[in-house]
Structure formats: C-alpha cells, structure tokens
Chains A and B, each alone.
Chain A
Amino acid sequence: MAIELKMPALSPTMEEGTLAKWLKAEGDTIEPGDIIAEIETDKATMEFEAIDDGVLTKILVAEGTENVAVGTVIAQLEGEGEESAPAASAPAASETPAPAPAPAPAAEKPAVSAPANDPAIPAGTSFTSTPVREALRDAMAEEMRNDRRVFVMGEEVAEYQGAYKVTQGLLDEFGPKRVIDTPITEYGFAGIGAGAAMGGLKPVVEFMTFNFAMQAIDHIVNSAAKTNYMSGGQMRCPIVFRGPNGAASRVGAQHSQNYGPWYASVPGLIVIAPYDSADAKGLMKAAIRTDDPVVFLENELVYGRNFDVPDLDDHVLPIGKARIVREGKDATIVTYSIGVGLALEAAETLAAEGIDAEVIDLRTLRPLDKQAVLDSLAKTNRMVVAEEGWPTCSIASEIVSICMEEGFDDLDAPVIRVCNEDVPLPYAANLEKIALIDAPRIVEAVKKVCYV
C-alpha cells in the first residue's frame, strides 16, 4: 500500500547525491506536481517532484544527508484512496534507472593516482583533495586573474554555471564580458573564438561535449591549427578548445566518442587529455599560457572524482611530458585519461598475482612523449596500450607503430591494444558494458604479453 519514494537519478552519470532539504513534513498531504525535496548533486541542485498523491507518512533520510545512493528509499507515502493500489509499483522517481544500474566498481573507487610522484612537483609540497571539475575551474580562474586577455565562452558556461559545472563561479568573479554564454552554434562560436585569438585574445572555448565539436572541427583544424604555418609564423592562434570527451554513461553512440586520435593526427595542434586533478589543473594552466592552439580533452566520468592537488601558488605542468603513475618491472601499460584509472586497477590485480606492471599516463597526446614510452619498454620489454576509444587508427595504434619502428629490439612480445569494441557505442546497459574497455581486459592482455 505504501509508496516508496526513492532517491532519483538526475543525470545519466549520477550515482549519489545530497538530500539538501525536505520541503514537506511528515503528515503533509502531497499532490502530484508538489515539490517534496531538493536534491543536490555535484553538478546541480534539482527539485524532486511528486508524481503520486497521498500523505507523507515517513521521512527515512534526514535533510542534509550526503552521499545518498540513487535508488535509496528516502520517504514513504500512504495513498489516500483505499484503491490507489496501482501506484505501489511506480516509484516516485520518473527517471528510475534501468535494471542493474549498479555503478561499475571502477567508477566508484578509482585506483589512486598520486601526483606526489610527479617530478614536476617539489618535494615536501602539501596537497588538497579536489574534484577534477574544480581543479579545471581553479586553473581557468587563476589564469583569468593573471591575464586579462583570457576569457571563457561556450554554451551554458555563464548563468547556468556550466552544463557539467566546470565553469561554476566564473561569471560571479569575472562578469559577462569574460564569461560569455553563446547560442547553440558550435561552428560559429569556434570560429569567433579562433578569430579572437588571431586578434590577440586568449579564448577558452568550451564545447558541452566534444561530440558537438564535430560541427566546429573545420575551425579547430583549418583555422586554428594551420594558420601559424600558412602565415610563415606571423599569425598565431592561442586558443583552448575544451570539454568532456569519450564515453559518458548510457548516452548512446552520438554522445560517446573519443576524439583524441582525430585531433592528435593534426600538426599544429596541442592535444592534452589529463586524468587526475593535479594534471587537469597544471596542464590547463599550461594550455592557456601557450601561444599554440590546444585541444583539451576532459572526461565526464572523471569530473567528480577527487584527487590530490598540490598546494602551490602556480601549479603549471609541462606539455608533452608523460608520467609514470605506477612503477613496475614486468610489463608496461600505456594509457591516458579515464584509462589511467582502469590501468591502475588492473595493475593492483596483477600485483596480487605476482606481475609488477608499470603504468604510463601519456597526459599529452600531441606532441607525444615517445621517449617515456620507449624508456619504459626498454625496462619491461612488454607493453599493452589501454585506451577508452576505438582501436582502429587510435593512439594505441600509434604507440604500437612507435614500438615497432624505434623499440623493436626491446620487444619480448607483440604490443597489444586494449580498446573499446569497434562499434558505435550501444545504449543498452549490458551491451554498453561489453563494448567499453575495463580493467579485467587489461589484466588479460598484460598476462598475454607476459606469456602467463
């Protein structure tokens, strides 16, 4: 008889949230459309609306409670009419997750990526745990404070505070002249951004996702990347194109593609794809400072993860330098972006089985730190490339070529690519899971190159 009200999922990637406020009390009569509570996620605060009528009999989760998992019963409603039985099976959340939405273990507890072993960070530095999205925001804000030429433009970057909350707070601090909401016209505003860069400004252009940047790729490639060369070094285009890239969660083929290999094939572009918060911050600052055009590939699934960021006044990292995120001697896993978390998880599993894997985070896809890859190969003689993206003509393919051409004598086994399946990403939960790279596949590949 009682209707259970469950913690709703407010976005495809939401796994938990804060029950910010109850707007109804126990004993209140509820009508469909009434706002019962406010739910806060790391992206936004949303209103929780009733779809059934009845009396709120019990509040099970107190307001202010954090980390309430999606699907948790938060209150009970007693139907008024005695014969309102059919409602029982309909939970209040209209966006009830599909069966078995249990977050992949990898997403819930990403393996630690400790920036402490980054040689670019001075010894003795203290750290603050920061979500990736805030690290990116802090990087932009610091550079905007330092250089009045820097401004941010894109869809929903200002008043909405960023579709993924990356630009949160920037409008308040810098005002509408420097934090510009654009219409939904990627081709046009990418061109306007590139033109502004040619005219001497330093735009940071946000694409809500890089899937939409395909509308604008002409300006990224033809206008931004090639002009310096075509002008004999006269005309520069210091611009950052940034936004989430790669698969998110259950958003289907058109919203789930990794463009790393596309942009990394273009001379004249810098392509950066960081994993953790320290790299996101340090490389974003470097991207804004450089006089070259940068494609900065973020990952929606990583935005909410917390990692240590060094407490430095000016944390800037070098572009074009990979990082050994885990030292090992038996085999090397080369990876980047969300793949780093999966590779570290795989390395833990392998360690338990006696295989000591080294994990290299490329961080910059162009220019690629070949030397770091070859040095690690010379040390372990075995390599797997883990990439959340298609295998064909991928960064993984490029690494394989490099190893063949320049590290052949160091190879004790063929280099193996561990990528997504070579299909448009499906929507169905089970198919999506099959299509995407995961840690067990990396484990298996490492064992294969180790012949165990």
Chain B
Amino acid sequence: MLHSLQAEFEAAKSFAASDDQMLEFYRQMLLIRRFEEKAGQLYGLGLIGGFCHLYIGQEAVAIGLQSALDNDKDSVITGYRDHGHMLAYGIDPKVIMAELTGREAGISKGKGGSMHMFSTEHKFYGGHGIVGAQVALGGGLALAHQYNEDGGLCLAYFGDGAANQGQVYETFNMAALWNLPIVFVVEDNQYAMGTASARSSAETRFHRRGTAFRIPGMDVDGMNVLEVRAAAEVAFKHVRDGKGPVLMELNTYRYRGHSMSDPAKYRTRDEVQEQREKYDPIERLKKSLVEAGHDEADLKAIDKDIRKIVTEAADFSESSPEPEPSELYTDILVEKY
C-alpha cells in the first residue's frame, strides 16, 4: 500500500497534456518567474521590505499540483515562500505585488506582507511565517472538508526544513488516524535556509517519512511540470477516493537565496548554474513546446505579454497609496466588545 501510488505513477510518469494545457503551464510558470524577478528588483530598490522569499526555480511544483485541483472545493496552504502559489490561482499580480510593497491595495491591505497573504475567496489559506505551522493548520482545513462532507481536499506545502518540525509528525499521525483528505507536499529545494538537506535531515528521502504513519509516499521530479501533474492526478484520486493522506516529495531547486539577504556561501555558483542549464522547468517545457511545433517567436510573444503584466503590477504597487494610519487599529478583532 505504501508503494502503490509510486508504482501507479511510475507506470505513466508524464501527464498527457493538450496543447492548450502545455501553453497554459508555460504561461503560468513564466508569470511566476518574471513576477519574482521583478520582486527581487523592487526589493533591491527598497520598495519591498523585510523578508522576501522568491520561488524562482520551483515554479513547476505549484503549477503542476494546483492545475489538478478542483478550485470549487479544494484548499491550499503553504509557508512563507508563497507568491508562486497565489499566482498559480490566477490571482491578480497587482494585488500581490502591492502587498509586497505594503500598500493599501495589497491583498492583505498591506498588513501581511510577503509571508502573510491569503485569499479565502480562492480557498488559499496562506502564507504562514512560522516554519511548519501550516502543516497542522492544513490538517485542520482537511478536517473541515471531512466534517462538511464537501468532497474537497487540502494541499499542504512545506519545505525540507519544515519537514523536521515535530508538529508535522503530530499532524501525520492525526491525518492518518482520522483518514483526513490531505496531500502533504514536501518541496525539497535542497536547502533548509542555508543548510543542505543532508546536513539537517537523517532521512533525506522525504517521501519515506510517512511510512511510520502508514501514509503512502511519492517521489517526484519537481522540475518537470508534466511529471508533477501526473503525480498529482494519482495522489488526488487516492485522497478523493477516501483512502486518506498522501505524502509527496517534490525535488526541486531554488536559484535565488533563501531570502533576499542570503550570503550564498553554502553552495557554489557552478551548482546553481548546472541546475539552471540542465533542469530549468520552464526551459524544459519550452523545449517540448518547440518539439510540438510551436515556433520561438510565438513563445517570445508570450514572454512579452507577461513582462507587460508584471511591469504593470510593479507600477501599480509603487503608485498605490500606503494604508491609512487608521488601518493600524482595524482587523484586530472581528467583533466589538
């Protein structure tokens, strides 16, 4: 049982995407890439403050998984590296960028910032700044799906660093015990902040970590969007069939630092360069698209459109006003006492 999902996935590892789907994946991944590059620039200009964790390199994970969700029912929760997961929903890049610059028009009215963004309308529950906390919270969202019998599942992302937090295993235990509809996703980008997986984790094959709780694991190339999507199909079906939680390990790589203030002393430039050249998820999909008959010029046009969207988002985020000082005292409590 613990290996059955992996076996099913191995049998058909690449999602048979239609041409439209392939183009959409390409477009969405590119949007995340360009958005994050722009966020990096705005940070350098001092327009974005505090902590800012970029998703560059990991795009295939959010797009591959979230494209398989039923957005009317399913919920998503993640940690602080959350820009990509929001963009994957098609949420307006303007309100996300305006949140990064701390403006009134931001999706959290400028009061959350990069790490704390939510869209309950899309059933996206954040955006959490405490490493690992979103795993237990995701267990609660799954409990709500089960309690309400709404047929939804919760997709709960966390990193290889969070995978060592105790509450993750408390949640595994209860999720398996109560047969909760939840997909746990370890986004293994190889580094817990600056500590390589092998230096912080006794078991780096994270998909095995559900074994003690009888949670089946899946080992997925997170740099290949079609493979991620194929794995998502298998995992989500298992959960939707009422068979309980699944643990997916998505092997990926972040090109940028942990946050903007990363000294980059813990890995070599060559290592990063090799990943970019050999495994970049966008370039790989682009190659498939070209092979499928799309010419470079069409793909360039997509890039141009996206750059325009991102530039507009950046302009919006710079020109929007900061929150009114009176906003300091709103949204602390819901009710009046």
- Where the two chains meet, the residues of A that have a C-beta atom closer than 8 Å to any C-beta of B are 151, 177, 180, 182-183, 185, 187-201, 203, 218-219, 222-223, 227-236, 238, 267-268, 270, 290-292, 318-320, 364, 367
Contact = CB atoms under 8 A, between A and B. Distances in A.
6 interchain residue pairs of minimum CB distance: A195-B140, A191-B136, A188-B170, A199-B144, A232-B109, A195-B137
B141 A196 contact: yes
A125 to B, nearest CB: 24
B333 A191 contact: no
B136 A235 contact: no
Given A185-B173, A188-B167, A270 B337 contact: yes
A270 B117 CA distance: 23
Residue in B142, B166, B333 with the greatest tally of chain A CB atoms within 10 Å: B333
Contact of B335 (A185, A188, A235, A291): A291
19 contacts: A188-B139, A192-B140, A195-B77, A195-B140, A195-B142, A196-B143, A201-B144, A218-B130, A222-B129, A228-B332, A228-B333, A230-B118, A232-B110, A232-B112, A233-B109, A234-B107, A267-B332, A291-B335, A367-B337
B108 A232 contact: yes
A192 B174 contact: yes
Interface stretch (B7-15, B45-53, B120-128, B300-308): B120-128
B335 A192 contact: no
Contacts of B140: 191-199, 203
A182 B174 contact: yes
Nearest to A369: B337
Interface residues of B, number: 50
A197 B128 CA distance: 15
Interface string B294-337: 00000000000000000000000000000000000011111101
B137 A230 contact: no
Contact of B136 (A188, A229, A290, A318): A188
Contact of A232 (B111, B135, B171, B173): B111
Contacts of B110: 232
A318 B137 CA distance: 30
B151 to A, nearest CB: 14
B133 interface: yes
A322 to B, nearest CB: 12
B143 A192 contact: yes
A188 B171 contact: yes
B93 to A, nearest CB: 17
Contact of A151 (B111, B130, B147, B337): B147
Interface string B153-183: 0000000000000110111011001100000
B335 A290 contact: yes
Interface string B59-73: 000000000000000
Contacts of A222: 129-130, 133
A234 B77 contact: no
B229 interface: no
A319 B144 contact: no
A191 B109 contact: no
A239 to B, nearest CB: 9
A223 B335 contact: no
Contact of B138 (A195, A203, A236, A270): A195
A287 B107 CA distance: 29
Nearest to A318: B337
Contacts of A270: 333, 337
